[in-house]
């Protein structure tokens, strides 16, 4: 007999979900202290329900010294007091579920905070101790151990900073990110056991899924070879041992119908797809789509490559335009280089925001029409641009570790504007928020956009509501002139995007469902505009 269709559909929610990333610090401030919190999110759940999202992914909300915005976790089972309490998180998960919204938590298995009890114990116990085996402690090289154990580069791309720090007792420890984020030793059974327990802890609290931070970095070559000799396999990226780890995680998740989304940055499509085999992760972020320049041929190639890559393993694609690490979409699409690359970020890049916004609106209709799950990052639905943060207010370690070359990621983490005429654009703070909002921030406020038929918020709300019309079927490309993308799905619903300077004719259709901008006088689709049509 099997399951009734509706139950099957519900269990497969993640295959076509719209998932909204909440960066709690900057979402809404419930207690007025300048930092967003769980009370703020709870108060805004009706907004998220009205937007129509299926799930919320919360960037880490655990106890943390916030040396890397919470990706330095001191206790995975406690909520940081600046955000609230565990009891509040439980309430939030339950209240969201009542509104039909599932919760995804963010687990950071590659490293912990240097304030985590395990690392503190390892420091106290000294060289050669069993406590140090939970991490990667090593003596240095050179006559006096004064050289780091390997030549590995920092994962904060381009920072040129070391990934080893030497202690007064002579040992060095590994940290692929900041020194306050020591890497765990995944060859140690206690590390594996602890993480499986953490997964259970959160699934028991009703979460529906887990986002896995730095998912391809956990396993390290125990011999710690240098990178300069180009060892194969790579000493710390995408090692085969990872698949055993994720198979064990999958067994834990399956007991709760929980799902995973991996943060897997890998250029090799076949290696990427291995993580999505049926007994491993359910999904992974599609960074090739996110990084793709605003160019019809390249976007089509990225879509085709994504679908081809996922098909053999039966996993749904994900479509992502931005997150808390990358330059906001309207800014990126308004620059000469519309792609994304950590290595080329710089201060003062000229930006045409009107152009970027027009393209971002079209990109929203494109990504919400594609088969798979879609991730939105808070503020994307408001069309927020990347902010230039005054250097004396920057907090992101990426800026400091690049010695001021990389502006860092704070520009996409600015507290959201909710009400134009309120202090701090209605973020909720009684005092200056943790990051300053630019002067024009109020013009993006939710209360300005809510009833404006032409706003970005209205476009997102309408598109999310209409998206089920596309069904769950694969896409078929339609013949189009150069620079135009058009595809049909399900019962004849078509998405067309014009990136060419010449206005595009619509294919035959019975109804214009939605468009990202005005049509021209002859009813054609202008450049950088997208539409959804019913045939
Ligand atoms: C990826 C996260 O998205 C980023 O914000 C963080 O800095 C690194 N992983 C390290 O945890």
Residue 8 has pLDDT above 80, yes or no: no
Residue 4 has pLDDT above 80, yes or no: no
Atom of ligand 1 nearest to the CA of 325: 5
Residue 83 has pLDDT above 70, yes or no: yes
The Cα–Cα gap between 360 and 530 comes to 10
Structural domain includes residue 393: no
pLDDT in tens, 260-279: 999 999 989 999 999 999 99
User: Is the Cβ atom of 213 under 6 angstroms away from ligand 1?
Assistant: yes
For the residues 473-500, what does the mean pLDDT come to?
Answer: 94
Structural domain includes residue 408: no
Structural domain includes residue 396: no
pLDDT, mean over the chain: 96
Grade residue 2 by pLDDT with cuts at 50, 70 and 90. very low
For residues 146 and 154, the model is more confident at 146
The Cα–Cα gap between 288 and 321 comes to 10
- Do 298 and 168 sit in the same domain of this protein? no
- Do 167 and 312 sit in the same domain of this protein? no
Question: Which secondary structure element, helix H or strand E, spans residue 79, and what is its range?
Answer: strand 75-79
Residue 328: CATH number of its domain: 3.20.20.80
Residue 506 has pLDDT above 50, yes or no: yes
Judge whether 534 and 492 are in contact, CB under 8 Å. Answer: yes
Residue 471: how many CB atoms within 10 A of its CB? Answer: 13
Domain end point (choices 406, 431, 464):
464
pLDDT, residue 157, reads 67
Structurally, how many domains does the chain consist of?
Answer: 3
Residue 15 has pLDDT above 80, yes or no: yes
pLDDT in tens, 168-194: 999 999 999 999 999 999 999 999 999
pLDDT, residue 271, reads 96
Contacts of 1 (CB under 8 A, 6+ apart): none
Domain end point (choices 127, 149, 174):
174
Structural domain includes residue 409: no
- Do 65 and 135 sit in the same domain of this protein? no
Domain end point (choices 126, 147, 174):
174
Q: Which residue has tokens 């300069």?
A: 228
pLDDT, residue 156, reads 82
Contacts of 182 (CB under 8 A, 6+ apart): 111, 112, 114, 119, 135, 136, 173, 174, 175
pLDDT in tens, 336-345: 999 999 999 9
Write the DSSP assignment of 314-350 as a string of letters.
Answer: TPPPEEES--TTS--HHHHTTSS--S--GGG--TT--
For the residues 291-295, what does the mean pLDDT come to?
Answer: 98
Assign residue 124 a region (left: φ > 0; alpha: ψ between -120 and 50; beta: otherwise). Answer: alpha
How far does residue 456's CA lie from ligand 1's centre (Å)?
28
Residue 515: CATH number of its domain: 2.60.40.1180
How far does residue 475's CA lie from ligand 1's centre (Å)?
33
- Do 27 and 122 sit in the same domain of this protein? no
Structural domain includes residue 404: no
Residue 213 a catalytic site member: yes
Write the DSSP assignment of 504-518 as a string of letters.
Answer: BPPPS-SEEEEESS-
What percentage of the chain reaches a pLDDT higher than 70? 98
Assign residue 453 a region (left: φ > 0; alpha: ψ between -120 and 50; beta: otherwise). Answer: alpha
Residue 131 has pLDDT above 80, yes or no: yes
Structural domain includes residue 92: yes
User: Is the Cβ atom of 183 under 6 angstroms away from ligand 1?
Assistant: no
Residue 7 has pLDDT above 60, yes or no: no
Structural domain includes residue 403: no
For the residues 380-390, what does the mean pLDDT come to?
Answer: 98
Q: Is 110 helix (H, G, I), strand (E, B) or coil?
A: coil
Ligand 1 atom 5 nearest Cα: 325
pLDDT, residue 112, reads 98
User: Is the Cβ atom of 396 under 6 angstroms away from ligand 1?
Assistant: no
- Do 68 and 150 sit in the same domain of this protein? no
pLDDT in tens, 422-476: 999 999 999 999 999 999 999 999 999 999 999 999 999 999 999 999 988 899 9
pLDDT, residue 9, reads 61
Of residues 228, 229, 214, 206, the one with CA closest to residue 183: 214
Indicate which residue of 213, 238, 386, 406 is catalytic. Answer: 213
Indicate which residue of 37, 54, 106, 263 is catalytic. Answer: 263
- Do 363 and 504 sit in the same domain of this protein? no
- Do 126 and 84 sit in the same domain of this protein? no
- Do 380 and 259 sit in the same domain of this protein? yes
How far does residue 342's CA lie from ligand 1's centre (Å)?
13
For 152, the token pair is 């590995």
Grade residue 490 by pLDDT with cuts at 50, 70 and 90. confident
Judge whether 446 and 51 are in contact, CB under 8 Å. Answer: no
Grade residue 533 by pLDDT with cuts at 50, 70 and 90. very high
For the whole model, what pTM was predicted? 0.97
- Do 477 and 455 sit in the same domain of this protein? no
The Cα–Cα gap between 72 and 29 comes to 22
- Do 455 and 325 sit in the same domain of this protein? yes
Structural domain includes residue 237: yes
Range of the domain at 241: 6-110+189-388+414-464
- Do 376 and 294 sit in the same domain of this protein? yes
Of residues 322, 409, 415, 336, the one with CA closest to residue 364: 322
pLDDT, residue 161, reads 85
User: Is the Cβ atom of 177 under 6 angstroms away from ligand 1?
Assistant: yes
pLDDT, residue 386, reads 98
Judge whether 495 and 506 are in contact, CB under 8 Å. Answer: no
- Do 454 and 508 sit in the same domain of this protein? no
pLDDT, residue 339, reads 97
How far does residue 57's CA lie from ligand 1's centre (Å)?
14
Check residue 255 and report its DSSP letter. Answer: T
Q: What is the 3-state secondary structure (H, E, C) of 111-155?
A: ECCCCCHHHHHHHHHCCCCHHHHHECEECCECCCCCECCCCCCCC
Residue 150: CATH number of its domain: 3.90.400
For the residues 53-65, what does the mean pLDDT come to?
Answer: 98
């Amino acid at each position: 007999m099997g399951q009734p269709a509706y139950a099957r559909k519900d269990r497969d929610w993640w295959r076509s979900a719209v998932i909204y990333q909440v960066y709690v610090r900057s979402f809404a401030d419930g207690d007025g202290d300048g930092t967003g919190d769980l009370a703020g999110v709870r108060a805004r759940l009706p907004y998220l329900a009205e937007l129509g999202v299926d799930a919320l992914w919360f960037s880490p909300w655990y106890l943390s010294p916030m040396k890397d915005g919470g990706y330095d976790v001191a206790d995975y089972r406690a909520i940081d007091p600046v955000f609230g309490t565990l009891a509040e998180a439980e309430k939030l998960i339950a209240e969201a579920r009542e509104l039909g919204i599932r919760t995804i938590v963010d687990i950071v298995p590659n490293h912990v905070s240097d304030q985590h009890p395990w690392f503190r114990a390892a420091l106290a116990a000294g060289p050669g101790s069993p406590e140090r085996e939970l991490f990667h402690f090593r003596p240095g090289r050179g006559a006096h151990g004064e050289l780091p154990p390997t030549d590995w580069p920092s994962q904060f791309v381009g920072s040129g900073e070391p990934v080893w720090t030497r202690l007064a007792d002579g040992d060095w420890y590994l940290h692929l990110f900041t020194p306050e984020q020591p890497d765990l030793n995944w060859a140690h059974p206690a590390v594996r056991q602890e993480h499986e327990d953490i997964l259970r802890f959160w699934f028991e609290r009703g979460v529906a899924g887990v986002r896995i931070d730095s998912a391809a970095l956990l396993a390290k070559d125990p011999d710690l070879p240098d990178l300069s000799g180009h060892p194969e396999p790579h000493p710390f990226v995408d090692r085969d041992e990872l698949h055993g780890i994720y198979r064990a995680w999958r067994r834990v998740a399956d007991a709760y119908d929980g799902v995973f989304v991996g943060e897997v940055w890998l250029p090799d499509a076949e290696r990427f797809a291995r993580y999505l085999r049926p007994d491993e992760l359910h999904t992974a972020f599609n960074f090739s789509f996110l990084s793709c320049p605003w160019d019809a041929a390249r976007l089509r190639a990225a879509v085709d490559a994504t679908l081809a890559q996922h098909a053999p393993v039966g996993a749904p694609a994900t479509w992502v335009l931005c997150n808390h690490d990358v330059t906001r979409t309207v800014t990126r699409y308004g620059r000469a280089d519309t792609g994304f690359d950590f290595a080329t970020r710089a201060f003062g890049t000229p930006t045409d925001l009107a152009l970027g916004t027009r393209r971002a609106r079209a990109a929203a209709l494109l990504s919400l029409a594609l088969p798979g799950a879609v991730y939105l990052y808070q503020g994307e639905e408001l069309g927020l641009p990347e902010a230039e943060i005054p250097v004396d207010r920057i907090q992101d370690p990426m800026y400091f570790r690049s010695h001021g070359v990389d502006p860092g990621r704070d520009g996409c983490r600015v507290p959201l504007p909710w009400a134009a005429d309120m202090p701090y654009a209605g973020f909720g703070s009684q005092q200056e928020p943790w990051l300053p909002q630019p002067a024009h921030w109020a013009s993006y406020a939710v209360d300005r956009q809510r009833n404006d038929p032409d706003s970005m918020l209205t476009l997102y709300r309408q598109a999310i509501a209409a998206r089920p019309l596309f069904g769950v079927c694969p896409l078929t490309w339609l013949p189009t002139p150069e620079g135009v993308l058009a595809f049909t799905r399900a019962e004849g619903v078509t998405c067309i995007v014009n990136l060419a300077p010449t206005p595009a004719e619509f294919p035959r259709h019975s109804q214009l469902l939605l468009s990202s901008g005005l049509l021209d006088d002859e009813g054609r689709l202008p450049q950088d505009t997208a539409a959804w049509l019913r045939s």
